[in-house]
Every structure is written in C-alpha cells, then in structure tokens.
Amino acid sequence: MTGPGALLVIGDVVTDVVAIHPEPLAPATDTAARIRTLPGGAGANAACWAARTGTAEVRLLARVGAESARWHERALVDAGVRPRLVVDAQEPTGTVVALVGKDAERTFLTDSGASLRLCPADWAPSLLDGAAHLHLSGYLFFADSSRELAVIALRAARARGVQVSVDPASAGFLAALGPQRFLDAVAGVDVLLPNEDEARLLAGLPEPAGAARAAAELSRRVPLVVVTRGAAGALIAERGRITAEVEAEPVEAVDSTGAGDAFTGGFLAARLEGADPAEAARAGCLAAALAVTRPGGRP
C-alpha cells in the first residue's frame, strides 16, 4: 500500500447521553439541561479523530449490542473509519451518561455493556495486515476477557514490529484495578498517553506531585510518554526527562467529553505521517480544542 500504514484501534463503542447543565444539579427536583444522545466511546472517538485529521486508513475493533449496531456502524463509516463491530448476543451497547457543568468539565456514569466483553475469539491476526500502529483503549484492561484480548493483540503487534500505544482511560478504574497490574499488562508498549491524574497514579506519586515528575518517571518504563493537561496543553517525556512542552489551543469550551480521545486521534494521525512527538502533540492539542467546542466526543 502507498502512504502511511493503517492505524488499528481496539477499544470501546458506546452510546453517550450528554447532559449540559449550566446551573448546579438540584437534588430531589429538576435541573434544566440540554441533552443529546450521541455515538461515543474512547476507542471509537480516537479512531474518528484520527480519520478526520490524517491520511492513513483507520480500523476499529469493538463490541456492540444488537439494538444499536447499525447506527454505530453507520456513524463510524461516515466518519471515515473501517469498523469491525462484533455484535454481542447478551449485552446491549455500553452507555455513558456525561454530566457537564458550567465549567465544561464532565462527570461520567458508565455502564460498559458489551464494550468490555471483547474476547480473544474476536481477534484476527489479519487485522494487523498493512498496519503501522496499534492503539489500545485503556478501558480494555479493566475486564478479564477484554484485557486478555488486548494482551494478545499487543504481543502480535510487537512480533510484527508494529508500534503500540495505550491511553489509560480512567483514573477511577485504574485505582480499582491497581496501577501496577495495569503497568504489567501494558509492558512493551511504545507510547503511553495518560492525563495528569492517570500519570500520577501510575507513577505512584501523591496528588500534589507535578505532571512533569510523573511523566519523567513513567518514561523510564515506556519509551514515549505524553501527558495531557487540558487547558495547560501536553508534556512529552523520554528516557526519564521532559523533552517538550506543548501549549493548548485557546478556545471557549462547551463540553470536555472526548477531549483526550481527540488528542489521541490527532497525535497518532500526525505520527503516522512522520511528525516528531512535539509536532504530533500540537496536532493533538488542535484536535482537542476543536472537540471541546461542541457536545460529545466525535468530530
């Protein structure tokens, strides 16, 4: 094939119910909100942003429920992604309720549904044919069957010399799983893309510790660590030290849902086209800036 090799994303497809409420939640009564039902999922969002911002072919492996499989497949195809959606016979598509306050920050209520029921039987080595990069959504590592699949895919990619990245996805789920257990599962990855909270947790540092220290510590275990910091941009660490700091694009944020996924997609698309880490982080920051100006996590 000509041009950059394909990007294979393995992750989650979920239905997002985004509720933007300018006023604080009022317990035991009504709170006015703007509510939208949108396609989402960290893995799917990243794939869609990569397809929007890059030229490489983007593939996605995920599990969905029968009730919304066609809707999700059409949304992905329309976004330029080649989906391979396994339809789960028992569970519906995962659902995330995103409560978004006046400051555009979001709180998630998550029902993983079919998304974390990916299993080794869903894997096919041919998914890596022509691929230059494998990206694994961190959510995969929070359930036994999907974690087993993720490890199989990671090892297959390494055997073929395909670069691998992981977004840790959720500080809450990381804490429940155990940081060391997560790090053991992702051993051998080339790129780690945590946010500040996830980076501190994985580095075993207390909350007051800076993102720079956490990034530097993690880069002793993973060759390239890129820590996203929201409006503060991103930090890049390699070989135990910070090698670049990238500023965020200034925008008026509406909804931060999917901002990290957009960064991941923009970053990976740029890397596949030959950008160095700092250039790729700038592309990621631009995608994230676009993402927060509208509800939901997709382009």
Of 160, 163, 105, 114, give the one whose Cα is nearest residue 139. 114
Rounded to whole angstroms, the Cα distance separating 220 from 180 reads 14
Radius of gyration for the chain, computed over Cα atoms and rounded to the nearest angstrom: 18
* Closest alpha carbon to 255 in 66, 108, 71, 142: 108
Rounded to an integer, what distance in angstroms lies between the CA atom of residue 86 and that of residue 102? Answer: 37
**CA angle, residues 284, 201, 159, in degrees to nearest 5:** 65
Q: For residue 19, which amino acid is it?
A: A
Report the first-to-last Cα separation within the chain, whole angstroms. 27
Residue 130 and residue 51 in contact, taking contact as beta carbons nearer than 8 Å = no
Say if residues 97 and 19 touch (Cβ distance below 8 Å): yes
CB count, 10 Å around CB of 239? Answer: 10
Token representation of residue 289: 């800036």
Q: How far apart are CA 37 and CA 118, in angstroms?
A: 24
To the query of whether residue 12 is one of the catalytic residues in this protein, the response is no
Residues identified as active-site: 261
